[in-house]
Amino acid sequence: MSHARLIAGDCTATFDGDRARETRGRVVCLRKPDDTVLLHDAAGYRPVAWLTRPDASVVAGDPPTLDARDGDDRLRVLFHETSVDVRVPVSAAGDPAGACPDCDGALVARSGTLACTDCDREYVLPAGAEVLDERCDCGLPRVVAVRGDRFEVCADRSCESLDDAVRERFDRAFDCPDCGDDLRVVRAGGLLLGCDAYPDCEAAFALPAAEHDGTCACGLPTFGGACLDRECDG
């Protein structure tokens, strides 16, 4: 579980760099898990000082002093007195995706991941995947992703692999336009349809995030109305 440090009190904040200035007041200072520092006062919605993802960040002393540096930029927050100084648990926030099967936390989908708000469970989802209401036998949500067809798989790739589902559907389903050998489903950065005669034949095509719906005049399959070969004029 990640934690943020929240310090509130009377402080002097000094920023050295492109936005050089010094401020004094009773503020709320938030140091996020990625070391980003934000200082908020009673006025407005923008922080009065901040440093995003610095190279180094240290909090020491009582009352504390926070020192964050990022290249030539430096933010130093010297607290004269504090009313609050606590570490609080924080998690990713996203679209609710039901209960975590391992704890009392909630699952949320955000930025291509499925994560629990209370424990360390986190899963990387296939690009463009949609989280469904249906559950896998393991307790996690199922997701749907389009890779030449619509595939419903578990959010945990080790439980149910999207790659395996795509291979079962499209491996050797089409012929190579250059040599006539089979096109195989391979992963090389993304899912590709590559010639089985590689390296003698280097024909390879990215498998589109669209559904197979026909055949192009060149003989290759079409996905979403477009030829598998993006450079084809057929």
Q: pLDDT tens across 171-198, in order?
A: 999 999 999 999 999 998 889 999 999 9
Could you write out the DSSP letters of every residue in 115-171?
Answer: EESSSS-EEEPPTT-EEEEEE-TTSSEEEEEESBSEEEEESSTTTS-HHHHHHHHHT
Is it the case that residue 85 has pLDDT exceeding 80?
Answer: yes
Pick the last residue of a domain from 90, 112, 131: 90
**Domain containing 72 — which CATH number?**
2.70.180.20
Find the mean pLDDT for residues 87-115: 91
pLDDT, average across residues 66-92: 95
Q: Point out the domain boundary residue: 90, 119, 137.
A: 90
Q: Do 188 and 208 share a structural domain?
A: yes
**Residue 211 in domain:** yes
The answer on 175 and 142 residing in a single domain is no
Give the mean model confidence (pLDDT) for residues 92-104.
Answer: 90
Provide the phi-psi class of 115: left if phi over 0, else alpha when psi is between -120 and 50, else beta. Answer: beta
Q: DSSP letter at 102?
A: S
Domain containing 46: what range?
A: 2-90
- 2-11, 15-24, 78-87, 145-154: range with lowest mean pLDDT: 15-24
Q: Are residues 13 and 83 in the same domain?
A: yes
Work out the average pLDDT over 30-48: 94
Task: Determine, yes or no, domain membership for 204.
Answer: yes
Max Cα-Cα span within the chain: 77
Q: Number of folded domains in the chain?
A: 3
Please indicate, yes or no, whether residues 148 and 198 belong to a single structural domain of this protein: no
What's the whole-number mean pLDDT along residues 84-103? 92
Give the end of a domain, one of 56, 90, 124: 90
Task: Give domain status of residue 234, yes or no.
Answer: no
Q: Is residue 232 part of a domain?
A: no
Q: Please check whether residues 7 and 54 belong to one and the same domain.
A: yes
pLDDT bracket for residue 234 (50, 70, 90)? low
Express each pLDDT in 106-118 by its tens digit: 999 988 999 999 9
pLDDT tens digits for 122-162?
999 999 999 999 999 999 999 999 999 999 999 999 999 99
Q: Do residues 234 and 228 make contact, with C-beta atoms less than 8 angstroms apart?
A: no
Dihedral class, residue 14 (left if φ above 0, else alpha if ψ from -120 to 50, else beta): beta
Same domain, 9 and 83: yes
